[in-house]
Amino acid sequence: MARRNPMRDEIAIVGVGSTEFSRDAGGVSPAKLGAQACIAAIQDAGIDKNEIDGVVGALEPGAPRANQMSAILGLSDITHHSSPMPVAVFALVDAMTAIFSGQCDTVLLYYAFTRAPWNSRSAAQDPFRSYLGGMMSGGLKAPPMPESIDPSAAYTAWAARYIHDYDVPRETFGRVALNMRANAARNPKAAMKTPLTMEAYLEARMIRDPLCMLDMDIPVDGADAFILTTTEKAKKLTKNPVVVHAATAGMVGKNDEDQLPSLARHGQHVVVEALKERSDVWIDDVDVFFPYDGFSIITLGWIENMGFAKPGQAGKWMQDNWDDELGCVMIDGRVPMNPHGGSLSEGASRGTGHLREAVTQLRGDAGERQVHDAKTALIGCGGFFFNSQGAILKRL
């Protein structure tokens, strides 16, 4: 069965707005951060707020729902609204399909993040975040047992399997962290800009061995927002619309975290197969590469499963493509990997940072991080189990 892609290049991103990403935004609610990003995106698109007839807001803990954001911003009549699950491409695809199918013409898409009491000490002391604690436990009366392999613990468990199967050193994971940190230093919005060395990585506190603190994304307060519309309308709005060439989710049936068949067949593989079939371009045509890095093992997975490196060879591949001067990967000396610093160093925006930087690069607005004449961006979003996704964005 050939996969169809009638939406190819038909939906455009015409506005981007972001707050800073910080480890503590102070006394600012996720609703306010979200509103700030939305207003900036609407202004960036140069449209009137009454032109928005679709609102899509990612279902993040503490974030305002689409109906709440519509009320906050005093929007006009809305004919499509939804709050899709994280990570970023679910909401992107929802916005695209709503426009393409005629449910609406112009979508405000936003993602707002707030550090939760269970992953930040200062957040745990914020009385206005205490209600989030109940969301984590899912209404259960006691915390889960340490042996529960939940999604985040599962990445560590499979990282151990990766090390076992391919006999790689911890430096392989460290190189992912170093790449993100060096890039974040060139991104004013990033939360973590202090330089990182391999020695510091190897000495960092272990959380779940074999992964340490620097293998896990950094909880932040912040928000991203986008305006999407038809490519036809986008051409009238802006000189430089960025279009979504292809996008997909991917999952295998057997996706319970500890029952996943193997590292050789999971959600990322489904994403890669679907993207390839739906796209005219592939990795040799890419100018900027965005592998998700909620955990460093996920990045290794994308590098290999996209086809940049053979299974178990992502570490060697990063080494071969390392730019010593910049301190990060430059594929063939030209293509950076998460030039914004990714979730590990810009902040845990669950892929929306990757999406925003892709748009920023394709518009030529990335300042000192700008890839010369960037035309095509490849995003591998999410991990192995039930949130793998991918997207290819192009400058029209």
Kindly write out the interface string for residues 101-140 of this chain, putting x where it contacts another protein by CB under 8 A and - elsewhere. -------------------------------------x-x
> How far apart (Å, rounded) are the C-alpha atoms in residues 223 and 170?
32
Please report the sign of the dihedral spanned by the C-alpha atoms of residue 140, residue 151, residue 353, residue 340.
Answer: positive
By CB under 8 A, name the one of 58, 153, 180, 335 that touches another protein: 153
By CB under 8 A, name the one of 161, 233, 265, 269 that touches another protein: 161
Contact window for another protein (CB under 8 A) among 152-160, 289-297, 352-360, 374-382 = 152-160
DSSP assignments along 141-180, one per residue: SSPPPTT---HHHHHHHHHHHHHHHH---THHHHHHHHHH
> How far apart (Å, rounded) are the C-alpha atoms in residues 173 and 300?
8
By CB under 8 A, name the one of 6, 27, 74, 253 that touches another protein: 253
- As given in the structure block, the two tokens for residue 294 are 């909620």
Nearer to another protein, 157 or 237 (CB): 157
Q: Phi/psi zone of residue 29: left (φ > 0), alpha (ψ -120 to 50 degrees), beta?
A: beta
Number of residues in contact with another protein under rule CB under 8 A: 31
By CB under 8 A, name the one of 110, 113, 158, 290 that touches another protein: 158
Contact 349, 221 (CB under 8 A): no
Which of 54, 26, 30 is CA-nearest to residue 42?
A: 54
| Residue position matching structure tokens 């430096």 | 171
By CB under 8 A, name the one of 3, 235, 254, 334 that touches another protein: 254
Contact 378, 289 (CB under 8 A): yes
Asked whether position 203 contacts another protein by CB under 8 A, the answer is: no
Asked whether position 327 contacts another protein by CB under 8 A, the answer is: no
Contact window for another protein (CB under 8 A) among 96-104, 205-213, 264-272, 384-392 = 205-213
Which of 239, 245, 246, 241 is CA-nearest to residue 271?
A: 246
Check residue 344 and report its DSSP letter: I
CA 243 to chain centre: 17
**Shortest separation between residue 262's beta carbon and another protein, angstroms:** 10
**Shortest separation between residue 177's beta carbon and another protein, angstroms:** 18
Contact window for another protein (CB under 8 A) among 83-91, 108-116, 143-151, 310-318 = 143-151
Contact window for another protein (CB under 8 A) among 22-30, 199-207, 218-226, 242-250 = 199-207
Which of 191, 216, 226, 219 is CA-nearest to residue 58?
A: 226
- As given in the structure block, the two tokens for residue 391 are 């997207």
By CB under 8 A, name the one of 207, 237, 281, 283 that touches another protein: 207
Query: In Å, what is the CA distance from 301 to each residue of 20, 135, 292?
Result: 28, 30, 9
Check residue 68 and report its DSSP letter: H
- As given in the structure block, the two tokens for residue 302 are 């994308």
Nearer to another protein, 122 or 148 (CB): 148
**Shortest separation between residue 384's beta carbon and another protein, angstroms:** 12
Query: In Å, what is the CA distance from 215 to each residue of 201, 276, 298, 348?
Result: 9, 29, 10, 12
**Shortest separation between residue 140's beta carbon and another protein, angstroms:** 6
Asked whether position 144 contacts another protein by CB under 8 A, the answer is: yes
Asked whether position 157 contacts another protein by CB under 8 A, the answer is: yes
Asked whether position 143 contacts another protein by CB under 8 A, the answer is: yes
Asked whether position 167 contacts another protein by CB under 8 A, the answer is: no
Binding site for another protein (CB under 8 A): 138, 140-149, 153, 156-161, 164, 205-211, 253-254, 256, 258-259
